[in-house]
Structures are given as structure tokens and as C-alpha cells.
Structure 1
Amino acid sequence: MSELQSDEGFLADGLAALAADGRSFTPSSPGVILVVLDHSGGLIAARGFREAETIGSAGLAALRTAVGDRAVVLPGPLDRAPVVLFDTDVHDPGDLVAALLDHLALPLELSGEAHFVQSRVGLATAAAVGTTDLGDLVHAAFAAAHVAMESGVLVHEATDSLVAETRREATLRTAMARAVRGDFELHYQPIVDLTTARVLGYESLLRWRSEGELLAPPAFLAAAEETSLILPIGRVGTRVALGQAARWNEGRADGPLFMSVNYSARQLSDALLLPHVERVLDELALSASTLWVEITERDLINFGSPATRTIEALAELGCVICVDDLGTGFAALRYLADLPVSVAKVDRSLVCAVGEDPSIRSIVGAVCDISRSLGIETVAEGIEHEDQIPQLRELGFTHAQGFHFGRPAPAADLVNP
């Protein structure tokens, strides 16, 4: 017996009720469609709990009308999540899903009034998931509905690996929550003056030490972004990075080092970020210009959004606003014009091609010219060889970063920064 059947029993109860009604469900190749009604809670927010209590029964009636005798519709194991069972050897899953979506696009009759109810759909078939166990298929359909809710699509179909992937993501999130204040660490990569090669500051780069393995952001950052965990991780990272800058700058005769910290749109939308930065700078007696606020071009920021307002407030505070990965898309040129940007980092994919592709060289040269006309300094990313430097100087770059000047390393491994 599957975990869902033994824990919830809704399938057994639903199938028993069918049998008592003189019907049965014995498909050779079962399929399950799970419908999450009012997945956003919008109707509850607008109309209250009493109105929402009627969603389940109204949704069941609508779904039964939609599928007719092609499928069995049962109340699901969770409120407002009806389950549709059918035989894929007899009825095409796509046709059934289409019929359901057509009905879900119509308002539901709730307490005598019509209301549109937002829904998301998860589909699981024996062929795609690799099992005929109804409990396991319901589990897979729930996982598929979760993906639909997270991604914003109307319907998602489960694969044979989806449940395992969802379980790994949940385990990863739990491990990250435990690690927020202990197992994350920062590595630092120098940013230098391109003319003199003198170190001017460092970019702080997040690493996670999990079960003895040091993980880079691609292994965990997406999961952190999908949850609220990126917010405490970012705030702790800001404090640690600026604390390191304060230690390096204490009694330093060669001018203060800056510290560049990466922020996503979600972090910049956090109402607590600005006061946190102000508090940390004050506690460490650091100038606001010590902090470079680095935003990536790939992370599209809508103008007039909370993230934009935070960027503007940080710039007013005296922080340096830096656009990362310039040249990988189209957003950054607008950022240069509409945001208080002081530094632009040109993506390594373009920097590495400057010496080989005249077209790329022209593009990079134009970016440097535009930046210079706006009073924006430019950082060439990804420099790995000495022979790249003359061309980059000629194009007008002011700063540089890459393995040639130093790989990311823990603070303890950096000698006389």
C-alpha cells in the first residue's frame, strides 16, 4: 500500500463509496489529475473564510460536469484539491486536461454568487511516472501541481523523477535553513586598477560547506531564491563581508578597500535590507562608499518597484551601485540610464572574445564609450592572461577582475590585501 493511501485513506474511502454506488474504477493504465482550487488564497483574502468553504463542493461539481463519465472525481486528501482518476488507455490525458481547464476558466457558483477561482493542475500518468499505484500517482500529481504553482503555468505533468526531485529540494531547503548562520562562508576575489594592477577592493562570493563539500551558488542559490531563505542569507553575508572590509581597512595606509556584495531583485525588495545596511555600516564605522551593491543584468528589475527604490536609497546613502554581467542581455543599458549606476562590469564572455572577434570588440568598445560618457567606471571580468590587458586598457576599462589577478579565496588565504 502506498504512503498516501495508508496515511490519508481518501482513495480507499472514495473507491469504496464508488463501489457502494454500484460503480468501480479498475483501469489498466491509470492517470491522475489533481486540481488545486484557489491556490493563491485570493478568494479567501477577498471574500473571507465562509465563502471559501464552498469552493471544494462547487469545484467538485464543476469538474464532474467537465469530465462526465470519462473519469471519476473524488474529494482530495487536502481541502480544495479534488482528484480526477481516469484510464489513459481509454481517454487521452490532454483532452481531459483541456476539458477541465475550459471549465476552470468559468466562474464557480459560490453561495449564490459567481466567482472566478484561480487554479493550478498537476497531471500524472502511469506511462510517464512508471507506476500503476494510485497512491503514488496522486503523490506525483501533487508534485506536478506544486511545480505549476511555483512556475505560474496552468498545468504541469509529472515525470518518473519529479517526486524524488521535489524531495531533494525540500531536503536542500531544510539544510539551508539550518546553515544560515553557520555553514555559509564567503570567499573574496580581488578587483584591481587596470593600469597599475593595484587591488582596490574585493567581490564577496557565497559558498556553502555542506557535509564536508564546498558548494558554489549554482548548487543552492536557485532554491534559496525560491524561498525566503535568500533574505537572511543575504543579510548575514552583508554583515560578514563588511566586517571583513573593516578588518582589512583598519590602519591601512594605502587607501580603503571596497567590498562588492551581490544582491538579487528579491533581496533588494526586502524592506529590511536598507536599515540593515545602515546599521552595519554605522556599527563598523565604515563609509557607505565601502559597499558596492552589485546587481546582475540577468535579474530584471522593474522600474518603480521596491527593488528600484532600495537601489536609489542605497545610492543616496553613498553606496556604489554596480551592474554585473553587462552585455548578456538588453536590460543593462536602461539600467545605466535610469538607475544611479557608478560601475558597470562587462561579462567575461565578451571580455574573452575581444581579441578574437572584431564585432565583439566594437560592442565592448561602445559599452565603454557609453559608460565613460555617463561617468561610469568599467570592470573587465574574467581576465585570465596578461596578454588580454593591453587591448582592454585601449578600450577604456578602468578596473579588472579574473583569475590572472587572483582566484576567489577565504580571507585567511589572502596575504596583505
Structure 2
Amino acid sequence: MHRIFHKTLARPKHAGVVVFVLVLLLFGFATTQILHQQLQTKKSVALSLAQSHVLLLKTALDKNLSANYALAAVAAREHERTDWFPSFAASLQKDYPDVSSFALSPDGIVRQVFPFEENKSALGFDQLTDLEQGKETLQAKEDGKLTLAGPMNLIQGGEGVIGRLPVYLPQYDDSEPVFWGFTNVVIRLEDLLRYVNFSDLDNGNFNYQLTKLQEERSESAIVIASSKQAVSHDRIAVTIAVPNGRWQLILSPQGYWLSPWVVIGDLLIVLLISLLFGRLVFVALKMREGKVNLEELIGQRTAQLSTSNLRMKAILSALPDSFYEADDDGVVTSYHSPRMDAWYQKTDWPIGKHFSELLGSDSTAVFRKVMERAKKEGCASGYEYYYDFGEHRRWFDMSMTYTADNEGGNGFYILLSREITERKAVESELRIAATAFQTQDGILISDADNKIIRVNSAFEAITGYKESEVIGALPSVISSGRHPKSFYREMFQRIKENGSWEGEVWNRRKNGEIFPEWLSISIVKDDEGVLTHYVATFKDISESKANERRINQLNYYDSLTRLPNRRMLTEEIDYLLTHIDLKCRRSAILFIDLDHFKDVNDLRGHHLGDLLLQQVASRLMDATRSGDSVARFSGDEFVVILEDVDISLNPDRIAYRAKHVANKIMTSLGQPFELNEQPYSMTASIGIAIFGQDAIGSDEIIKQAEMAMYEAKGLGRNHVCFYAPQMHEKILERVTLDSSFRLALQRNEFVLHFQPQWSRERKMIGVEALVRWIHPEKGMIPPGVFIPFAEESKLILPLGRWVMQSAMAQLACWQETTQLRDLVMSINVSVLQFTTVDFVSEVEDALTQTGVNPAQIQLELTESMLVRDQLDIIQKMQALKKLGVLISLDDFGTGYSSLSYLQQLPIDQLKIDQSFTRAIEESDKQASLAASIIGLGHNLGMEVIAEGVETQAQFDWLKNHGCDLYQGFLLGRPQPSNEFVITEDTN
């Protein structure tokens, strides 16, 4: 091989070919690599230049469009006014000089612009229906976000872009916010482009094109700005996100990235080196010249970058935002802030620190979220975080971008941070004010001329007026007319002196209804002490007034009859005694009690009883004069106080008039009443007491009339009696009986006597337990004396429980004896006792405690009990039958029971009342009644027993007519248990 190479060299032509090929391959490869590196360098420079211009453009847009937020905040707060806009827009223009105009478009129609003269042609422009802007405007309304429309031809002339932010008004009844309209910021395109300074791209030998990408069709775009020459296909592009869209900056060289001459020269050099190795010096010089040109070009680009960096720093210094640069891990590598406040530390304080070292946990979480989104989407904005500077918390709004290197590896973050502490405070105050305004109390705000400028929803709910109906009107629009002018003059005088007034006022609703309210009025003054507004808050107190009336009604009037009650009655009598001169005059009180009213409730129900009381009250009012007082004292008791007029010194006059009124009342009440379309007649007992100034008190007067009423009842009812001092003795007896009875229950003064019950063969098969009272001083007190009193005072309940337990206990003792173990014990149950809720439980407890056989217990119920609540009676009887006890119906034939109803009851025995037994010997007609009862009982499958059998003739007659059992003095008297046992043994 070595020999062949030397042979080839020996041949110039061949050697030239070999050298040409070798040099051509070597330098051709080297030249290709150099050209590729130059191309990448130029594109990197162009990309950096494009990114710097895009960042300038993004910064300029964000700064100018942020004016929308301030404009929207004030518009939401002051949407009912229009006079604030010019001055506020003028102040905004100082902070945003690049904005050509500001505009408000309620409901999408431009209503206000600033500056006015240059932009008045835009007034009335409907953004929602316009063919060019309508789609984007509707999209902005639906999304509720800031949008950037354009570029477009402006109504006021020229070309520009429009930042539009929809404004929604919050609602305070949990409904969706209401769309109000848009705020608009107009930026002329030529101002925007001049700010970004695209002209230096022309000077940098670049063609450029700034376009707006269409989201629907990614291949199409709207050209915003471009160089005179079109960009070529060999280009670089940088995309930025703007509100509701993306803009793209495209750069291409003015011609080619690499000069064709350079390429040709390099190729010629390679070719010349290859052909003329002797021209090596020339080629070397040529290469050096190319290197020098390259260094000059790089120097120029470096200078341009330096200039761009200086411009960028100037822009950043002009912005009110802080600038941070962090690496891919979140470590701050660069920091810039224009603020020189004392609470900032030295300018390099965050550099080299991770963001988690600088922030609290909450803000760190926000940063992580923003960095993730920026790394994923390229940018993220609209996030808030806070930093605690000592005891002060400062709030910031940030925007962040992420840029990766060319190989897609580690990149870096750019963060712009703007302080929004004051804005957050204003927003908080606005929310608090709005919440306070929407209280349940009505609020009315008027100006210095007292013309209404604002009301809240509670005002609308209370008065019925909508806000639009009262704006501009005086508060007198809801005046009731009840208060004289002097009332309002005094009110405003108090407001002027004290700065506020509070009190009760009657006003009128929109529907004409007059209502009471508790009103508070305060005045508002400016910094110079000049009155600017009146603030009135009021609360509808109709309900509290109604409650007062209802309480008064409950305190002083009977709810059923609408008559004065006992409380008002006593106060009326006390008033007569203390305020009316009764020295030479007297008055009278009538105490009225309805006879047998309890039967109405028992027989016909409480609802008809209530209806009867209402009719009685009406008749009492008709039977008395207007000056007389009629009151319902309690239950079926009424009281009439006669007025004291035209009463002479003669006391007989008032007695005569009282008797006359009582007779008139008796006559009126004697007329049949109508209850459920059925006539019902009744009577009343009336007691009369006459009193004057010497009376002890209202309670004593009423008590005297009540005692007279009881005396009338004692005479057989349907009578009128005047009070007499001796009536106290009867009342004293009643009180003594009550005390003695209660004491007898405690001392166990009651005993049981047992009366045997016999079969027709004169075999004793049962006994009836009868209660007796052995008084330590008076001896044996007859049942006819204390039983009615016990039932009336409801003391029959504890007595009845004692009788039941004692009778079962005695039966348990007898069951241990051979002779008496099979006896059936009959126990009387009072009506009141049976109607108690826990009666069945009492019977069950007594059976459990004594252990007696339930089949040997027979409960005697009176027939009059059956006229009560039939459903309750049936249920209780069925429950008793489940316990196993027997049920006897006492006094049968004296009540009003229905035979069909009698068939539904689980009754084991019918007891013929002793009145029918005594009548057997008096007449055949009376005897036939007893026979009918016996036949009826047998037909219903019941056992029949007759009580009050006192003669042999009565016994024989009952036996002949099939009576099953007998009880009476003929066969055996009631005896104590010890004597009863002896009698049983002797028989």
C-alpha cells in the first residue's frame, strides 16, 4: 500500500487527483459543519431578539389592559351612576398613557367614552350585534373574562385593539350574578407597535410579521403588523398568550440566513485548496478573513443584544412590578424591583434562595401550582399570594412564563409580581359594605336635598316599592299622613342638633296599607363637615304590635267567647272601688252558672259545649245594657257587673235592678238554643252580691256572689239568690269536708264493707266491695255524703285506686280459705276514674301486686258512662277483657245507652237498678220493666243481677222471671271482712 501511494505521488496528475479528492473530502466536511454552526447562531440570535420583542409586547398589553380591572371595580360599585366616569378615566389615563380611550358599554352598547371629543363617534355602538365584534363580545359575556379584540378598524378612526372586561353584579339572594355590561380599553395599533419598536428589526436585516392566530383554524391568521417584505418559509416564530387568543411574531432574514457569497466562497476555497495546494496561503488568508467577518457579525449581534437588554432593564424599571428569574428547580437567579420602600430588604435578598425559603406554606402552595401550569402551558397569570413583612401582610398578583432550552431540558421561569394590597383592602371593604347594606332592616339613603338615591332589597320587601320607583323622590312617598307636620319638624330639628333621631313612625306601603316601623335616621358629613347624605334604617314592627294586641287579648279576654276574662273582671271591680265615688252609690255583681252544663259535654261533645257557651255569651250581652260588664269567669260560669249610674241612696234600688236583670237573663237563657240544628233547653243559677265603697276587695265580692249562686243551686237550680252572711257556714262545711277527706286518705280512715251476692239457690257466689268512712270524731259518714263530693273534687281518683287495691288484696286473703276461695269480687269504678288514660294500667298493676285470679274480679261501670267517648270506652273494655277481668253494667235502665251500641261492648253482667226492684211490688207496668231487662240481658248473652232485694216477694218474682243473681238486705247487709267471714261460716 505504501508503495502504491508513493507511486501515485510520483504522478502529478494522479497525485493532484488524489490530493484534490482527499482535500475536497476533508475540507468539504469541515466547511459543511462550519456553515451549519453559522446558521444555528443566526437563528439563535433571531430567536432571542424575537423573544425580547414579544416580552415587551406582552408587558405593554398586560399593563394597558389591567386598567380594565380598576374600571370594572368602580363600575360594579357605581353602576347606577354615570358622573364618576370622566374624572376616573382621566386619572387612569395618567397611569396608562398608551391607552387611547376608555369606554363603558352597559348591556353591550357604548354609553360613555373618554376622551370624549376624539371618540364620541363610538357612542351608541352595539358591540353584541356588530358583525365584526359581536362574536367575540358574546364569548366574553359568556366566559366572564377579559378579552382582547382586534386588530380592527375603530369607529372613531384608525386601527387598534380593544380590551373588553364583562361586569357582573352580585346578587344577595343566592341567585346568579347579573350581567351589567363591559368596560373597554382602546389601544391604537401604531402606539402599541411604536412602544415595542419593531423598526429595529428592519435595521437588523430581518423581515417580520406579527399575527393573531385563529383558534378555529390554526393554519389561518390575521396579520397585525409586518415588514415591507414578506417573511420567507425559512423562519422562526414566537407565540404569546393574550386574553382569549394567541399572537405570533415571525422573523426571517432579508434574503438568506447565510450569505450565498459566503457559501460560494467557502466552496471555492475548498475547491481552490483542492486544485491548487500551492494556493494554501491564499486559502488560509481567505479562511482568516471569513473568521474575522464572523467575529464582527457576532460582535454586532452582541451589541444589539446588549442594547436590547438595556432597553429591557429600562422597561422593567418603568414598570411598577417586580421581576424574578428562577431556574428549573425554583431557585431565584435574578431579581429586580423598582420599589425602594423601607419594608423591602437589600436588592439581592432573594437571589440563590428557593421560593419555599422566602414564602409561607400557603403562598408556597400557590407558587407550586403556578409553576406546574407555566411549565405545562408556557405561561400562567391571575394568581395571588402574600408575603408577611413583619406584622404587615402584603398581597401580590403574579404572572409567570416558562422557557425551556433548545434541547427541551432544564429551562427557566420569569415572574412578574404586582402588589395589590390596597386593592384587596378596597374589595374587602366593598364586600362588607354590600353585605351590611343587604340586611333584614330596610335602608334608605338620600342626598343633601333629601332625595332618595338608594334603597336596599329589605326596603322593597317592606314597602312594596321597587328601587326604580322611588329614586329621586322624597321619603314622604311612603308617608302615612298620620303624623302632623310638627312631628316631622321636631324630628329634623333633633337630627340637626344631635346628628340622629330614633323613634316609632307609621308609614304606608305601596298597596295603601299603613304599618308601624321603628325608624333610625343618621346624617353623613364629608371631611369639611358639610352634610352630604341622610341614612335611614327601619324595621317593620307590625308583628310585634300584633303580638302586643294578642297578648292583651290573651291576658284580658276569653278566647272562646271574646268576653273579658277573670283578670279583667277583677281589675274592673278594683277600679270601681278605687276610682268611682261609691260612698252614696252602690253596684251589684251577678254570678251565673249554667245548670247541668257538664251533660252537654258528656252527651254531645265538647265542640257543641263550646258552641253553647258562645251563644250564652251573646244572649248575656243582649240582656244587659251597654254600661254593664259581662265576663266569662271560668268554664260555664259568667259574671255581670251592673254599672253604678242612676242609683239613689236607697239600697233597695240596686237590689231591684239586679233582680230585674237576673230575671231578664233567666228568661233569655230559658229560650231553646240551637246545637247542631237541634234545639236544646237549659237553665241557669244566679247569685247576686251588692257592694259599695266599703267592700273589702274584688275577690271577696266575687266570692259572695259565688256563694249566693251555690245557694241557688241548692234550692234545686234555676233560681236567683242574693248573698247572705249565713252562706259562709255552708261554704265552711264544704271546706272542712275537703280538708277532712284529704286527711282521711292519709290516715287510712276508709274501710271496705262487703255485701254478698247470691244465686237463685241462695248460694253465695260473690261480693260487692263498698267503701265506708269512719271519722275519728263524727263516726261513720254515709257514702251519700262524701261520694258526690269526692267525684266533684276529683278526690275519687285516689280513693278509687285504694278501693281497687284493697278489694283485690282482701280477695287474695280469701283465696287461701276453702269456703271463700271461689268468690267473685265486684268493684265499683267511677266515671272519672274510668276516663283516666292509665286506668287499664292501674288495674293490671293491682292484679300483678295481689296475684289474684283476674276471672274473679268484676268491675262495675255505670250506664251513664256509655254516653261518653264511645271509641275510648270500647278500646278500654277490650283491653280489660284481655287482662281476663269481668265487666258489669251497673244501674242499667236509668241511663240512655243505645242497644246497638250495647251489642258492641264486651259486658258480662247487667245489674238491675234498685229503683226497678222496689217497683216490682208497686205495679205490673213497673215490674214489666225489670222483666224486659232480664230478657234483654239473656238475649245478649249476659248474666243478670238485681240489687236492692229487700223482700221475699221481690226475690220470688225475680227468680220466677229468670234473674240469675241477687243482692240486698233480704240476703245480707254490707259487713266488714272479719264479720263477713263469721257470717259465711254460720250460713
CA contact (8 A) 1:206 1:217 kept: yes
CA contact (8 A) 1:323 1:332 kept: no
- Corresponding residue SS for 1:402: coil
| Per-residue deviation, residues 113-170 of structure 1 (Å, max 9, x unmatched) | xxxxxxx9964245xx9x9974465431244578999xxx999755535443333222
Larger RCO, structures 1/2 (Cα 8 Å, 6+ apart): 1
Q: Which residue of 1 aligns with 2:888?
A: 322
- 1:387: Cα distance to partner? 3.8
CA contact (8 A) 2:855 2:884 kept: yes
Cα distance change of structure 1 residues 134 and 9 upon mapping to structure 2, 3 Å threshold: same
Q: Which residue of 1 aligns with 2:843?
A: 277
Matched, 1:263 2:825: no
Matched, 1:410 2:976: yes
Q: Which residue of 1 aligns with 2:703?
A: 139
CA contact (8 A) 1:35 1:83 kept: no
CA contact (8 A) 1:192 1:401 kept: yes
Cα distance in 1, alignment partners of residues 930 and 629 from structure 2: 61
Cα distance in 1, alignment partners of residues 827 and 973 from structure 2: 16
- 1:356: Cα distance to partner? 4.3
Matched, 1:124 2:688: yes
| Per-residue deviation, residues 174-196 of structure 1 (Å, max 9, x unmatched) | 2211212411111110001122x
Cα distance in 2, alignment partners of residues 121 and 372 from structure 1: 44
Q: Which residue of 1 aligns with 2:804?
A: 238
Matched, 1:93 2:658: yes
Q: Which residue of 2 aligns with 1:204?
A: 769
Q: Which residue of 2 aligns with 1:115?
A: none
Matched, 1:18 2:580: yes
Cα distance in 2, alignment partners of residues 229 and 352 from structure 1: 32
Q: Which residue of 2 aligns with 1:339?
A: 905
Q: Which residue of 1 aligns with 2:250?
A: none
Q: Which residue of 2 aligns with 1:31?
A: 588
Cα distance in 1, alignment partners of residues 898 and 785 from structure 2: 26
Cα distance in 2, alignment partners of residues 183 and 81 from structure 1: 39
Cα distance in 1, alignment partners of residues 767 and 973 from structure 2: 11
What one-letter code is carried by the residue in structure 1 that aligns with 2:588?
Answer: G
Q: Which residue of 1 aligns with 2:218?
A: none
Q: Which residue of 2 aligns with 1:188?
A: 754
Q: Which residue of 2 aligns with 1:177?
A: 742
Q: Which residue of 2 aligns with 1:217?
A: 783
- Corresponding residue SS for 1:187: strand
Cα distance change of structure 1 residues 278 and 14 upon mapping to structure 2, 3 Å threshold: same
- Corresponding residue SS for 2:894: coil
For residue 168 of structure 1, the aligned residue among 718, 723, 733 is 733
- 1:302: Cα distance to partner? 1.6
Cα distance in 2, alignment partners of residues 269 and 92 from structure 1: 44
- 1:198: Cα distance to partner? 1.2
- Corresponding residue SS for 1:331: coil
For residue 943 of structure 2, the aligned residue among 361, 365, 377 is 377
Cα distance in 2, alignment partners of residues 178 and 249 from structure 1: 32
CA contact (8 A) 2:766 2:826 kept: yes
Cα distance in 1, alignment partners of residues 686 and 827 from structure 2: 39
- Corresponding residue SS for 1:354: helix
CA contact (8 A) 1:124 1:137 kept: no
Matched, 1:394 2:951: no
CA contact (8 A) 1:342 1:377 kept: yes
| Per-residue deviation, residues 189-235 of structure 1 (Å, max 9, x unmatched) | 0001122x111111011111223321122101111111221111100
What one-letter code is carried by the residue in structure 2 that aligns with 1:216?
Answer: P
Cα distance in 2, alignment partners of residues 298 and 35 from structure 1: 26
| Per-residue deviation, residues 274-323 of structure 1 (Å, max 9, x unmatched) | 11111111122112122111012245542425445323321232111111
Cα distance in 2, alignment partners of residues 12 and 364 from structure 1: 59
For residue 924 of structure 2, the aligned residue among 351, 358, 361 is 358
Cα distance in 1, alignment partners of residues 958 and 685 from structure 2: 52
What one-letter code is carried by the residue in structure 2 that aligns with 1:205?
Answer: L
- Corresponding residue SS for 1:32: strand
What one-letter code is carried by the residue in structure 2 that aligns with 1:17?
Answer: H
What one-letter code is carried by the residue in structure 2 that aligns with 1:188?
Answer: F
Cα distance in 2, alignment partners of residues 373 and 82 from structure 1: 55
Q: Percent identity?
A: 26
- Paired residue total: 351
Cα distance change of structure 1 residues 139 and 347 upon mapping to structure 2, 3 Å threshold: closer
CA contact (8 A) 2:688 2:709 kept: no
Cα distance in 1, alignment partners of residues 778 and 583 from structure 2: 53
RMSD: 4.2
- 1:331: Cα distance to partner? 2.6
Cα distance in 1, alignment partners of residues 574 and 929 from structure 2: 65
CA contact (8 A) 2:689 2:708 kept: no
What one-letter code is carried by the residue in structure 1 that aligns with 2:585?
Answer: T
The equivalences for 1:49-60 within 5 A come to: none
Q: Which has the larger radius of gyration?
A: 2
Q: Which residue of 2 aligns with 1:288?
A: 854
CA contact (8 A) 2:823 2:856 kept: yes
Q: Which residue of 2 aligns with 1:116?
A: none
What one-letter code is carried by the residue in structure 2 that aligns with 1:281?
Answer: L
Cα distance in 1, alignment partners of residues 801 and 820 from structure 2: 29
Q: Which residue of 1 aligns with 2:388?
A: none
What one-letter code is carried by the residue in structure 1 that aligns with 2:736?
Answer: T
Identify, as 1 or 2, the structure richer in strand: 2
CA contact (8 A) 1:297 1:332 kept: no
CA contact (8 A) 2:583 2:693 kept: no
Cα distance in 1, alignment partners of residues 589 and 872 from structure 2: 41
CA contact (8 A) 1:143 1:158 kept: no
Cα distance change of structure 1 residues 280 and 193 upon mapping to structure 2, 3 Å threshold: same
TM-score under structure 1 normalisation? 0.70
